[in-house]
């Protein structure tokens, strides 16, 4: 019934709550295929974000991440996860490190995004900022929100800093210049530049490009040195 009401509006995607098993993603995938065929639209028009909200969901997260080609992200839900473990969710996040890392690894293994849980206390903006900074360090791509007041902080934390963008531009320039000269040894300010450094630089520049911070077109082939 929810899909019958929602899909005619052609949303970009559907968020699947309480996704404990991969077959739930597969079932939604089939329903979306049926609708796409009925209206004659392009295949995989509708994307899926699946919310992992329990201990069972975390244990199945690797298989869930592989359940559908239209799956663009997995989102973690700490409140429901904590409830499934019969624990409270304190403001510190040590007890959430394991499920966060498992979800993140499952996402990275298949090349989709990892989105962190909501911060329920909309009055504690400092606590919210600290958690955003933590999950950025962990490697998450973003955070679910429940209040518009939280948007600016997420943008501030996850947007690349000007110094990061400048360094990333220097890295890409150095690696491209070295390849044009036919050398495999690349250094910048006395530090060796290897493939992981280049990959991080490209990610920073792609984020900066999407936010309008730079106009430079980013060619991902610089990661692999291909034309």
Between residues 27 and 188, which one has the greater pLDDT? 27
Residues 18 and 82 both lie in one domain:
yes
CA distances from 185 to 9, 190, 192, 203, 206 (A): 53, 12, 8, 22, 25
Between the alpha carbon of residue 188 and those of residues 66, 157, 171, 199, the distances in Å are: 38, 26, 7, 15
Q: Which of 139, 158, 177 is the last residue of a domain?
A: 158
Give the lowest-confidence range in 40-49, 98-107, 173-182, 218-227.
Answer: 218-227
Tokens encoding 51: 């919310």
Confidence of residue 199 (pLDDT cuts 50, 70, 90): confident
Residues 106 and 190 in one domain: no
Residues 143 and 171 in one domain: no
| Domain finish residue from 158, 175, 199 | 158
Q: Are 97 and 55 in a shared domain?
A: yes
If one counts the domains in the chain, the total is 2
Residues 213 and 148 in one domain: no
**3-class DSSP string for the chain:** CHHHHHHHHCCCEEEECCCCCHHHHHHHHHHHHHHHHHHCCCCCCCEEEEEECCHHHHHCHHHHHCCCCCEEEEEECHHHHHHHCCCCCCCCCHHHHHHHHHHHHHHHHHCCEEEECCCCCCCCHHHHHHHHHHHHHHCCCEECCCCHHHHHHHHHHHCCCHHHHHHHHHHHHHHHHHHHCCCCCCEECCEECCHHHHHHHHHHHHHHHHCCCCCCCCCHHHHCCCC
pLDDT, position 124: 95
pLDDT value of position 80? 94
Percent of the chain with pLDDT over 90: 72
Query: Does one domain contain both 51 and 21?
Result: yes
Q: What is the pLDDT of residues 136-193, one digit of tens each?
A: 999 999 999 999 999 999 999 999 999 999 999 999 888 888 877 877 778 888 888 8
pTM of the model: 0.87
Same domain? 110 vs 142: yes
Reported as a pLDDT band with limits 50, 70 and 90, residue 222 is low
State how far the Cα of 199 lies from the Cα of 71, in Å rounded to an integer. 23
pLDDT higher than threshold 60 for residue 227: no
Residue 219 has pLDDT above 80, yes or no: no
If asked whether residues 13 and 73 sit together in one domain, one would say yes
> What integer is the mean pLDDT of 31-40?
94
pLDDT at 57: 98
Domain span at 206: 162-223
Query: pLDDT-based confidence at 34, cuts 50/70/90?
Result: very high
Same domain assignment for residues 183 and 142: no
What is the per-residue pLDDT across 87-125, written as a single tens digit (0 to 9) for each? 887 667 788 999 999 999 999 999 999 999 999 999 999
- What pLDDT does residue 225 have? 63
Calculate mean pLDDT across residues 59-74. 98
Residues 189 and 127 in one domain: no
CA 109 to chain CA centroid, nearest Å: 12
Of 158, 177, 204, which marks where a domain is finished? 158
Of 27-41, 54-68, 75-89, 204-218, the one with minimum mean pLDDT is 204-218
CB 47 within 8 A of CB 12: yes
Maximal C-alpha separation, the chain = 61
> What is the predicted pLDDT for the residue at 95?
87
Q: What is the CATH number of the domain that holds 122?
A: 3.20.20.60
């Amino acid at each position: 019934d929810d899909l019958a009401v929602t899909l005619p509006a052609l949303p970009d995607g559907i968020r699947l709550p309480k996704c404990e098993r991969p077959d739930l993603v597969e079932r939604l995938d089939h329903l979306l295929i049926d609708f796409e065929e009925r209206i004659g639209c392009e295949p995989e028009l509708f994307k899926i974000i699946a919310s992992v909200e329990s201990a069972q969901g975390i244990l199945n997260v690797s298989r869930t991440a592989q359940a559908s080609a239209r799956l663009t992200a997995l989102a973690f839900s700490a409140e429901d996860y904590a409830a499934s473990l019969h624990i409270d969710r304190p403001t510190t996040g040590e007890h959430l490190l394991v499920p966060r890392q498992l979800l993140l690894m499952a996402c990275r293994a298949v090349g989709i995004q990892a989105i962190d849980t909501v911060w329920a206390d909309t009055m504690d903006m400092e606590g919210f900022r600290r958690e955003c900074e933590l999950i950025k360090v962990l490697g998450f791509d973003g955070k679910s929100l429940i209040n518009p007041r939280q948007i600016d902080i997420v943008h501030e934390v996850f947007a690349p800093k000007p110094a990061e963008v400048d360094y990333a531009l220097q890295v890409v320039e150095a690696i491209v210049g070295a390849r044009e000269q036919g050398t495999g040894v690349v250094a910048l300010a006395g530090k060796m530049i290897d493939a992981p450094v280049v990959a991080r630089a490209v990610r920073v520049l792609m984020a900066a490009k999407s936010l309008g911070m730079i106009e430079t077109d980013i060619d991902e082939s610089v990661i692999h040195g291909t034309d």
